[in-house]
Amino acid sequence: MRRVLVPCLSAFLVSATVRAQTPPARGTAKPATFKAAALTIQVSDTLGAPLSGSTITAEGPVSREGVTAPDGTLRLINLRAGNYRLRFMREGSITLERDLALRAGESATLDVALSAAPPPPKAPEPVQPPPSSRTLGPPGESKVTPVPLFLEKNFIGGREGRKDSPLGCTETGMATLHQLRDSWLAHTHDDADEWIYVVAGEGALRIAAAEHHLQAGTFSLVPHTVTHAFVPQGRNPLIIISVLSGPACKG
């Protein structure tokens, strides 16, 4: 009987020891409660009048954006605590930025005044070209010349290489009838542009390295300082009317 009780007593003592060493179970921790913050914004001009249609953006722990109502207000809700950068934009007003710190559960208000944007700069006035330093002299006499009749009376002789006949001139230009049997070597007009009309004959007009065919009815323009030459071709003389625009009348 004594042998049976000893093992039972030992088992009871071991079980009691294990229970005494097991710590009591702790209760489950409750999750932290989110306390949302809110912000009411009033946007006005510098005189205190509410500004509707103002766009407001908030950047921080969360992002928000909205437009002010007709009374100039906007309410942002469900904001987390932290620092925010607010931006206020409206057409016709200068954009403004503000920093704001919100606490958990806080319901804050903010008044903002936007200044009117300055008017856009005026477009630059067009630059007027300086007045020409050249002044026209008194007008010359009008003149009409029937070229065929003029040629009958002033036709180049059989042995003449070149004949120049003035047709008219003023303070700003002159017209000359040139009849060429020989080439008119390269030359320039430093102070005059030259308009050339071929009355009769054929030939070539050499301008720099280029050569242009001339025949009755051909019109050419040679600017001042440009080197040019005339080369008659065929048995008949090359007859041209040259108008120099620029120099005063020499005849």
Last residue of a domain, one of 92, 114, 136: 114
Query: Is 179 a domain residue?
Result: yes
Residues 152 and 233 in one domain: yes
Residues 241, 156 share a domain? yes
Domain end among 61, 94, 114: 114
Count how many domains the chain has.
2
- Is residue 93 in some structural domain? yes
Residues 80 and 151 in one domain: no
Average pLDDT, the chain: 85
pLDDT at 249: 63
> Has residue 95 been placed in a domain?
yes
**What is the average per-residue pLDDT within 164-172?**
87
Residues 168 and 100 placed together within one structural domain of the fold: no
E strands, the chain, where? 37-45, 55-59, 64-67, 73-79, 82-89, 96-102, 107-114, 162-170, 173-180, 184-187, 193-200, 202-207, 210-214, 219-222, 228-233, 238-245
Please write the tens of the pLDDT for every residue from 89-103. Answer: 999 999 999 999 999
Tens of pLDDT, residues 34-59:
799 999 999 999 999 999 999 999 99
- Is pLDDT of 141 > 60? yes
Residue 18 lies in a domain: no
CATH number at residue 232: 2.60.120.10
CATH number at 93 reads: 2.60.40.1120
pLDDT score at 11: 46
Evaluate the CA torsion angle 228, 229, 234, 235 in order and state its sign: positive
Q: What range defines the domain where residue 87 resides?
A: 37-114
Domain-embedded: residue 52? yes
Cα distance between residue 232 and residue 184, in whole Å: 9
Beta pairing, strands 107-114 & 37-45: parallel
pLDDT in tens, 189-238: 888 899 999 999 999 999 988 999 999 999 999 999 999 999 999 999 99
The average pLDDT across 78-84 equals: 95
pLDDT at 129: 81
